[in-house]
Amino acid sequence: MVYELNDKDRNDPANKKLEGGADFPGPCEKRKCTDILFLLLLIACWVAMTFLGFVVCGVIPNDNLEPGNPQRLINGIDYNGHICGVDSAVSDKSKIYYLPSVSTNSYGAIGVCVDSCPSERDLTQFVCNYTIDSTFDSSDALEMAQAWRYVLQGQCMYHEATTDIFNYCVYDAALSAASAAIDQVVASALNVSADNVTGLSYETDSDSSWFDNFTADLMTAKYVILGFGVGVAMVVGFIYLFFLRIPGVLFMLTWGIIGAITLVLLLAAVLCYTTATSWASESPQIHSDTEAKGLLYFSYALFVVFGLWLLLILVLRKRIQLALRITKQASRAVAAMKLLMVWPVIQTLGVLVFLIPWTIYALYLASSGEVTVDSTGTIKTFTYDDNIRYAGLYLLFCWFWTSQFIIAMGQVVVAMAISFWYFTLDRSKIGNGTVLKAIRQSMWYHMGTAAFGSLIIAIIKTIRAIIAYLQKKAKKSGNKILQAVLCCIQCCMWCLEKCMKFLNKNAYIQTAIFGKSFCSAAKAAFFLIARNILRIAAVSMVGDFVLLLGKILIPVGTTFLAYLVLAYAYSDSLHGLYTPCVFVFLLAYFVALMFVEVFGMAISTCLQCFVADEEMGGHFTNQDLGKAISETNEEAKRSKGVGAVVVPAAANDGGGENLP
């Protein structure tokens, strides 16, 4: 089972095996700036986005785009169609207060703009529509009678206890009803009473105190939440890496899962077959012949899947062993450069720095459309002209490009740091300084390459967004043929995006090692993958399993430790342990995502470094990989693969033990 290139690709200069003598120094030291044009284009994109933002914010006047006002999106609408706090008639009244509907005897039919939300019930104070003076003398019985007549007519409403939520005066009674409804849903799921659900997390004295308790618990346990959700989660991640380095652990985990899948497939096939034959021979007959034959054919399908799965494992068995060793090397590399785990935090901060002005521009742009109000004066709709639509599409493209650029820079930095580690014989010299060196060289020389690769992904994502918009329109029109065509195109674009992300990642590794520009790196990466397709498949399978395990174990382990601490030290000061534990889990999961992102890139880089090193003579391959190389080479010689490679003295990383 060997991937075959056609003659043109086989003779392509980029498909030549890498060459390097015994004095190969490792990653390129004399680098030059790559793909500068695309970095300049990205900067121009940011400048244009800033100009657009200043226009929609009203800083720069423009005839084609009217300035927006985000309050038009947030604030409510009164019964005359005026936006509270925005339109001149109600510019001094930014809150919306709803009067009761006479037809349904419920709140929410007529909105009135007010300057503040009532905080408590007062039967002598009223809010009325604009045609009625809402000031009534509480000592005058006739005026109070008239006021209550207006209440019954739905033209006034006495002051009811409300909570200001984004300039909406929401009745506390409505919040209590929503809380009770949530309790009832949870109770149904847990098969207990709603009272018991409330008791699981909070002991409340009133219907609305749950929010106060929720906030109080967050403030009380904030240091535990941050400490465990971030700090302890990173420690758990490194402990996870440590266990991966222990001889036999990764071996048993991987082959244990493979064996379990094999056994489940076999047992399922046998069970379906025996059940089908039992149904066919039962007397009196309970199941029809169609059911028996259907289950029998399904068992045949399971036997086929079992056979294919077993064949795949037999073909890849040596490469899976190699993948285990490469994954183990990646864990050593990340453990040697702990600063790598901080880099995703810097990336996240970079995304947030961009996201703040981008969100402001997007809100102003979204609020610059024409507002139309329905006949009841309660529902507002924004309509946009072509200029606003194109501006919105451009903002979306800027977001895609910038976010992917930040991700790409992170991949280049990690790849360069890991390649420095791999191509160093004395790895005791490798540490956090290596990461700083990788950051410096990546940002100085290869930001253009990251901009080029991220531009391709941004274009694909923008096309997918346009297709998604067209799909929504097609669904409304009911055109089934158009929906099917757009769905197929969307699937193709999704596959293209995944392929390009994979190719980009490997191109960045080529750039990190050899200092190539994006196109040259992508071409070299493609042929390197094509020459080692089975190894790539095996490493991807093992790597995905290890990363998935990390996503599960890191947040679960961190949350369990936080629960023990909270139960021991904070049980008397908390209303419940549920809220702090949930926030710890969310933070720990975010840390786990960053952790596995770095580790996944480390695995891919180690694989490509290993393949490049093997083609150049294997001068940096350590003892842990030597056995796997000789085993895979023996098999490769029998299947037109890569010739045997003599492995010289191993690189010293202090961890040359053999896997079982």
**Model confidence at 378, in pLDDT bands (50, 70, 90)?**
low
pLDDT digits (tens, 9 = 90+) for 600-645: 888 888 888 887 777 776 666 665 555 555 555 555 555 544 433 3
197: tokens are 């659900």
Indicate the burial class of 480 (C-beta count within 10 angstroms; 0-12, 13-18, 19 or more).
Answer: exposed
pLDDT band at 256 (very low <50, low <70, confident <90, very high): confident
Instruction: Choose the weakest-confidence range: 176-185, 250-259, 617-626.
Output: 176-185
Per-residue pLDDT of 388-446, as tens digits, reads 889 999 999 999 999 999 999 999 999 999 988 888 877 778 888 888 999 999 999 99
Helix ranges, 228-342 (H): 233-245, 249-281, 289-336
Cα gap 582→599, rounded to integer Å: 25
What band does 379 get if pLDDT is binned at 50, 70 and 90?
A: low
Give the angle subtended at the CA of 228 by the CAs of 224 and 231, to the nearest 5°.
125
- Distance, in Å, from the CA atom of 328 to the CA atom of 242, rounded to the nearest integer, reads 10
Residue 25 reports pLDDT greater than 70: no
For the segment 6-23, the average pLDDT, to the nearest whole number, is: 51
**pLDDT value for 18:** 53
- End-to-end Cα separation, the chain, in angstroms: 26
At 294 the pLDDT is 86
Q: Output the pLDDT for position 5.
A: 53
What average pLDDT does this structure show over 26-34? 76
Distance (Å, whole) CA 45 – CA 48? 5
Q: Are 430 and 420 in contact (CB under 8 A)?
A: yes
Backbone dihedral angles phi then psi of residue 41, each to the nearest 5 degrees: -65, -40
For residues 499-515, average pLDDT:
90
Q: Hey, where are the domains in the chain?
A: 7-55+309-637, 75-175
* Strand, coil or helix: 482: helix
- Tally of CB atoms within 10 A around 656: 13
What's residue 189's pLDDT? 43
The CA–CA distances, whole Å, from 246 to 58, 334, 601, 657, 659 equal 61, 15, 21, 9, 9
Q: What is the pLDDT of residue 235?
A: 86
Residue matched to tokens 């796997």: 628
CB 24 within 8 A of CB 331: no
Give the whole-angstrom CA distance, residue 95 versus residue 170. 10
Alpha carbon distances (Å) from 170 to 3, 95, 115, 127: 64, 10, 14, 14
Q: How many helices (H) and strands (E) does the chain have?
A: 20, 8
Token pair belonging to 431: 């540490």
pLDDT in tens, 445-466: 999 999 999 999 999 999 999 9
pLDDT at position 7: 55
Asked whether the predicted pLDDT for residue 206 surpasses 50, the reply is no
The pLDDT > 70 percentage for the chain reads 80
CA distance 224 to 231: 10
Identify the pLDDT of residue 656: 38
d(CA 474, CA 482): 6
Confidence at residue 352, expressed as pLDDT on a 0 to 100 scale: 86
Burial group, residue 78, by CB count within 10 angstroms (0-12, 13-18, 19+): buried
What would the mean pLDDT of 493-505 be, rounded to a whole number? 93
| Residues forming beta bridges with residue 380, ordered by sequence position | 373
Given a cut of 90, is residue 255 above it in pLDDT? no
Whether omega for the bond prior to residue 284 falls within 30 degrees of 0, making it cis, is: yes
The pLDDT tens digits of the residues spanning 543-571 come to 777 788 888 888 888 888 888 888 888 77
Range of weakest confidence among 126-130, 191-195, 412-416, 526-530:
191-195
User: What pLDDT is stored for residue 464 in this prediction?
Assistant: 95
Share of the chain above pLDDT 90, in %: 20
Pairing of strands 162-165, 168-171: antiparallel
Q: Which residue has the tokens 């939440």?
A: 225
pLDDT band of residue 13 (cuts 50, 70, 90) is: low
Phi–psi pair at 451, nearest 5 degrees: -65, -40
Q: Which of 139-153, 479-493, 584-598, 633-647 has the highest mean pLDDT?
A: 479-493
The average confidence (pLDDT) of the chain is 78
**CA separation for the pair 251, 73 (Å, rounded):** 56
Strand positions, DSSP E, 553-632? none
Residue-wise DSSP of 102-125: TTTTEEEEEEEEESS---S-EEEE
The CB-side HSE value for 111 (13 A sphere, CA atoms) comes to 26
Name the pLDDT band for 136 (thresholds 50, 70, 90): confident
Read off φ and ψ for residue 426, nearest 5 degrees: -100, 90
Examine the pLDDT at 657 and tell me if it is beyond 60.
Answer: no
**Residue 342 burial (10 A CB sphere; 0-12, 13-18, 19+):** middle
pLDDT per position as a tens digit, 111-130: 888 888 888 888 888 888 88
pLDDT per residue over 289-330, tens digit each?
787 888 888 889 999 999 998 998 888 777 777 777 777 888
Structure tokens at 435: 């990461």
Taking each helix axis from N to C terminus, what angle separates 578-615 and 343-366, rounded to the nearest 10 degrees? 120
207 burial level (CB within 10 Å; 0-12, 13-18, 19+): middle
The better pLDDT of the pair 207, 386 is held by 386
- pLDDT for 568-592, tens place per residue? 887 777 767 778 888 888 888 888 8
